[in-house]
Chains A and B, each alone.
Chain A
Amino acid sequence: MPDVSVVVIVYNDADRLPTAVQSVLDQTLRDVEVVIVDDCSTDRSFDVAQQLAATHPERVRAFQLPENSGAGGEPRNVGIQHTRGQYVMFLDSDDVLEHNACRNMLEAAEETDSDIVSGLCVRLHKDTRNQKRDEWYSWLYSTTRTLDSVTELPDLFVWDTLSTNKCYRRDFLIENDLRFPKGMFYEDLMFIADAYLAAERITLIPNQVYFWHVHEQAAVKSVTNRRHEMTNYIHRLEVHRRIDALLEQRGLTGMKLAKDVKFLKHDLVLHLRDLPFRDDAYRQEFAELSREYLAGIAPEAYERVLPIQAICAYLLQKGDWDNLIPAVDTLINRDKVSSPLAEHDGRIYWCDGHFDDAFGRQVLDVTDIGYHEKPVNQLFLRNQITRFSEAGNAVSLAGRITNPLGVIPEGAKLKAELEFSARRRSLQSFTFPVQTVRHDGDAIAWETTADITAQLRPLGIVDTIWDVRLSLDVNGARTTTRLTVSDTELAGGPLPVRPRLTRMVADHIEPHASSKGHLAFRLISESRNAERVQELIAKGVRGKPGTLAKNGFRKAKALRKTLTSGDSKLRAYHEVFSRLPIKKRTVVFESHLGKQYSDSPRAIYEEMRRQGLEFEAIWSYAGSPKDFPKDATLVKRWSLQYLKALAQAEFWVDNQSYPLKLTKRPETTYIQTWHGSALKNMGFDQPSLKAQTRQQQAEQQESLDRFDRFLCRTEHDARTLAKAFRLKEKTLLRVGYPRNDVLVKARQREAELGRRERGALAAELGIPADKTVLLYAPTFRKAGGRHGRFALPFDVERFADEFGDRYVLLVRSHYLNHVVLPPTVQGRVIDVSARHDISPILELADGLVTDYSSVMFDYALLDRPLMFFTYDYDEYVHEGRGTYFDLLEHAPGPVVRTEEDFFETMQSFETQQLEYAKDRKEFVAKFGEYDRGDAAQSIVDQFFAQWSR
């Protein structure tokens, strides 16, 4: 008995059949037989099969169906009948098996006694230059695992529905009478569902086993094809119904849910994508078919897919075409906002309407996506073409741009232009002014005429496809849109153009809709001998001169890449800039890797300015220079100017780290202010650094050894941070943090006046005088939540409802996290994360809620109530990097672990002022004794006083 029988099915594929069969004969496992089943081909397929059988009489047998069955199912059924091996695999005549596939499958099957072994299928795109590969649901195949039932891994059941990348125990197939359904598309889906459910053991292996050869097909969108699409969909739904019935029979509701999720995410999306390009009759029939099936989908499934997928399914079921077609635009172009959105009861909804349906409200609620918080230049807006016509050699266009939540205000100054650019990057582009652009109802309407023939000059060979964008200027803020083709015919045909290089290959340009539904143009030729010229050029491109030219171009590109790479910049820093003389009286300031103008570097800088010192201040910024001081030289982090400034500076003043690989010159003094005392282990006290080899540690140490002075605000810093960074005693500067001077002074002023004064910030944030201000400032967390954002550990809407009449809550997430607040809480909960400097916010807040953030040490200086919301304490302490002291023991305020306790303790927030007074005092004495309000001044005195003239 052979170890494995491979059933190879063929239909009119005589040329490729031998390759498929050979991939079985060449297996590392020797005892493998081939059973070829020909689906009554009309070409030489069966002859070829018989020849193969004759050449390998021991190993290959060939069979033929009496008449064509129309699909792959029946030939496989027949094949199974003829197999003799212990295990059975399937192979299509245009694909091949991986060299070791049978051996790996067999080994896994025998070791685990599995009914099915499944491996990785790889799709190879044969027509692409480097045979692009994509792995079929590779996340299911990252490790070897054995399942005692497919219910352990519902994702396998719903996603990997191929029959070909698997090896089946033959007796298992026979005993369970597993067969492919006859005369139906998606025969794999049904067969594999039956097989998965029947299997008592399934093993997955990460090995590649099957290479699925993909050949590009010409995308002809004819009516017959559309008919074919609909039939496809009908068959797809039918298979889904049958599988649902199977699952129901067995009471597998969990699996049904997983399958529903997949239907919304995958099956439905495949067909929805085409809807904007289909006529009304098609849409109606499609909706009719879908509605019935969607009714059976579990409501929970909607929560487990992307919001836009749920929205489309819901609108389809409701037959809300006006909202559905734009929604499909977002389905295809994920970042796009294609709907005007609607605000209702303080929440943001995808569209107006359906508010009377509780489920609809839930599905259409897009508050958490945060559209309402984005300025217009961060939005990708839908821009639908409403008119397309040609007049002579010009195109006349009109369209409507979505204006979600009125983000483009009435009366805004609007300007727009159309840009045509070659899809192959950085070649050339042409712009045309847009003649009119104005508000029109809930959208922005525009129209223009572009004289393409006169002004668009392609090169002619390398820039065949041209994309069109419209950029809209709203009071100086720019947003770029793509032109969506939907329900508007691109009338008029090709327009003449004059390519610069040659008109022999192309002399016209023709509009079309791209696969994403956007307007694009394609260069074509109307002349008769263009094909011949095209051929000649293609020959040249593939030939020697072409190769030379292409290689030259690639080399030039590679050179440009190396010149602008990090390595070259480092070389420039070390070998050029560092040889220039030091510029006296220059200081390069940086805060949090250039992300902010804040913290102690800012406090020192402001003190220097206050004293009127004469020096050159250079501030580093990452991203935008907005909000950085205007009286300083601003340099972008990692730019050449930045590197030059650092190389020549007399002082570096920073609170985190300059790029690790930059060596500091001995003539430069580095004042490291640091950005907070430590609760959690830092530097070499972190497990991850301890686990490093000595050499890796030495590299880290080198960057830390650049610090000439290191500020301490408490002896605790000397015991923890300084030790963790392995700093020398003489580098420590026990003066306190300059950023905290304002806090100490505020406390002193409050004591003198006997009351608290509110600064300008309260008015700026619109906080009424009678409200108590609380600040929630948690530490950094890896993003989680539904949209990959940091999710608040309590319900802000509940907070606003319960405490909104007394408190205003300021939320400041770590600068690497981002929160979204619903409009319901407006005025009662305010996001202050974007503000550079936290000190004025601390000064404003009457109380602080934090977890493990170092802000606790600074805030304690104000002697106001603190509360600790440590919902993940055990995880943080044991699984994370550990802490220097036990927060539960030293916390100068209540520590709560659950949301309920949080709300409960919030009730008594005011009384904590007195209750914890002693603890706060001790806390400051232990963790803040050097913060005395004169840090900035004493640093300036020590290092910069001589610059006063």
Chain B
Amino acid sequence: MKYEAVIGLEIHCELKTNTKIFCGCETGFGGDQNTHVCPVCLGLPGVLPTINKRVVEFGIKAGLATNCTINKFSKFDRKNYYYPDLPKNWQTSQYDLPIAEHGWVDIDVEGEKKRVRLTRIHMEEDAGKLVHSGNTIKDSASSNVDYNRTGVPLLEIVSEPDMHTAEEARTYMEKIKAIMEYIDVSNCRMEEGNLRADVNVSIRPVGSKELGTRTEMKNINSFKSLVDAIDYEIDRQTEVLEDGGHIVQETRTWDPNRGITLSMRSKEDAHDYRYMPEPDLPPIVTTDEQIEAYRKELPELPDARRERLEKEYGLSDYDAGVITSSRPMAEYFDEVVAGGADAKLAANWIMGELAKHLNAENKTIVDSPVEPARLAAMIQMITKGTISSKIAKTVFEEMWTSKDAPEEIVKAKGLVQITDTKAIEEIVDKVIADNPKPVEDYKSGNKKAIGALVGQVMKQSKGKANPQMVNQLLAQKLG
């Protein structure tokens, strides 16, 4: 039987506020354990939480940027469960009146546009971190708890089960990441856990409308793990069903080292969160005027920016998609173009050489040693014919390791393109004399043979001859 997967994501996005959601403790990553804590986030008796205004602002903006309806009356609720990373024994979250609901984002998978609906976006507090004494949580006799992260504000972005492949899930999560970066509500650093997903996966026979039993994998914190975990889980569930078994609804953990998912807890019926309205926090009432004011503050979003790059600069849909997939890259591109570079060449260089160099050194575009201004200057030199694209690669290589301007590099290394007809002609004559075979081929009708001759001229000029002139002169001389 052929099966199809049904996938839904709950993405937790840590907000870039200065302070926690209900107290004035700082949110910075990497502080010494239990140094960003106070009576409120430690849940000591008698304390009162107060909502951080900026969290509400970020929640509304995230909702607007994902086409949600903003709930003008929203409130917090207590989600009760016992786990030592939660000092109050409940997580302050939102239940039936989240800040935003019923949104959608569009994703592109293999050239096809697909809409993923958002069920809701709600605000909540993050939990603390457990450090286990044993190798795994299961063989630890005790655990140590750091409450620095407790109370750090999160948005939980819940999708409908609208995805069917690991690739769709990855693209969706990338889109959410891009939007949160664009509207500047989160640093979205996955390696620091700013963005993590709980993934629900089930499978059903192709054509069936009924949903199969799902499993949930918690705290997936890289795109690679997301794809690997989903693919593994689809295979595992398919195998279970094909062997005549049935899927157990459970939480599983993804082990990236072994590349498998493992059962964590199967007592799903024990999950009774007994939500109740948070009696310590008054409701949040938002007016249409406030919502519109927040909407006006939103920057140009990825989809709109992509469309603009296509219309304004004639970039292909694919290129515009890659360039706008992250805000820093889109801004880098804009700066290169503002610096006078041809837009298509700018896109090619950013997606080609620059991306290659960044990947090789595990750098992000923000830390690029080649600044937009220098790349723009170099691209202008190509457009003007001062250097060839081939030489430009050498120049780029130099810029990567030095602070020199491209003009200086070209001058110092003698890389200026030869556009002097005489100089090129000399080389052309020599190449024609030294290569009778391709010359003969060309003359007897094999026009492609000119390629070998052009190659020879370029080689002898060390890449500096202007290729158009070489082509022209060769064609002339060979009649």
Indicate, yes or no, whether A interacts with B: no
Question: A-contacting residues of B (Cβ < 8 Å)?
Answer: none
Question: B-contacting residues of A (Cβ < 8 Å)?
Answer: none
